């Protein structure tokens, strides 16, 4: 029976990830199978138990399970242990070990543009992707991190946790509709803001006047409202599908011990989201 890998999360049945990952397995000559399974927050316990009993070889984890999945795992790699978020799971012996490849997904697109140092950043959102973004930026030397959220009261625990995880950084919070004054070197969107039906707060637009680097973790629509406004102001922009590609490549490496053919993965991903190859 071929190895089976699964993406679990809310509303993932139309995710482009299976096409991307299956292309990587085929390119390696593997008959492994990768599919997606919609798992509501209330069904994580039973769904993960069934997957484990089936002997699933590995998983990717997305919203809303990146933090809650941790209590179901047998061990954690160093990064998820420090930031409290898992997006990749590997079967190790009879147990399951958690990893976080979102950090790689953030770092690689920046490094490919020659960006090796970030001093200050604003991060939209306080979920699993935000944790990974803060960790990645910290690795690039960022010591001023402002987390913009819609509910400051619910962010206090996140700020406390990340302040402990990133001891040399000043991590603070501000309302997304009332961003603090300043000119961040980078803006990272780890929230649904600016996608279909969730407008980009107009108060964020002045932050783009300083032409920061703008990285949007959202991959559909390909050109989010934030990316569009940043492009109009001649900012360096990084699309969400780039993060999706590189976190997937790192997950593949963790599962198989081999580096995937990233260009094959990229072609399959771009085709899945309706972008011409070469973008």
- The question of whether 135 is a catalytic residue gets the answer no
CB 34, CB 264: distance < 8 Å: no
CB 244, CB 109: distance < 8 Å: no
Catalytic residue selected from 50, 66, 117, 135: 66
Q: Angle of helix 17-28 relative to helix 240-256, nearest 10 degrees?
A: 40
**Side-by-side strand order, sheet with 120-124:** 170-175, 144-149, 120-124, 186-189, 213-216, 237-238
Q: How far is CA 181 from the centre of its chain?
A: 27
CB 128, CB 117: distance < 8 Å: no
Structure tokens at 142: 């960022």
- Taking the alpha carbons of 33, 42, 243, 266 in that order, is the dihedral positive or negative? positive
SS3 233: coil
How far lies 162's CA from each of 88, 145, 167, in Å? 20, 10, 8
* Burial of residue 206 (number of CB atoms within 10 Å: 0-12, 13-18, 19+): exposed
Residue 35 DSSP code: E
Q: How many CB atoms lie within 10 A of CB 211?
A: 13
Annotated active-site positions, please? 66
């Amino acid at each position: 029976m071929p190895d089976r890998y699964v993406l679990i999360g809310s509303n993932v049945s139309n995710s482009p990830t299976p096409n991307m990952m299956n292309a990587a397995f085929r390119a390696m000559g593997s008959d492994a199978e990768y599919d997606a399974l919609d798992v509501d927050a209330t069904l994580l316990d039973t769904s993960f138990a069934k997957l484990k009993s089936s002997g699933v070889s590995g998983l990717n984890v997305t919203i809303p399970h990146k933090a809650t999945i941790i209590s179901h795992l047998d061990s954690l790699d160093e990064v998820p242990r420090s930031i409290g978020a898992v997006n990749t799971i590997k079967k190790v012996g009879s147990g399951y070990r958690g990893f976080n490849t979102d950090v790689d997904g953030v770092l690689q697109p920046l490094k490919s543009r020659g960006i090796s140092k970030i001093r200050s950043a604003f991060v939209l959102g306080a979920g699993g992707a935000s944790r990974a973004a803060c960790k990645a930026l910290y690795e690039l030397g960022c010591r001023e991190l402002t987390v913009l959220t819609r509910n400051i009261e619910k962010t206090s625990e996140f700020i406390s946790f990340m302040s402990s995880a990133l001891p040399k950084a000043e991590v603070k919070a501000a309302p997304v509709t009332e961003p603090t004054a300043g000119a961040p070197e980078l803006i990272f969107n780890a929230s649904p803001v600016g996608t279909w039906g969730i407008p980009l707060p107009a108060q964020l637009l002045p932050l783009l006047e300083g032409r920061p680097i703008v990285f949007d973790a959202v991959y559909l629509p390909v050109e989010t409202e934030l990316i569009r406004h940043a492009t109009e102001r001649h900012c360096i922009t990084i699309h969400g599908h780039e993060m999706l590609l590189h976190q997937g490549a790192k997950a593949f490496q963790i599962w198989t011990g081999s580096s995937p053919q990233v260009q094959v993965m990229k072609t399959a991903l771009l085709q899945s989201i309706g972008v011409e190859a070469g973008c």
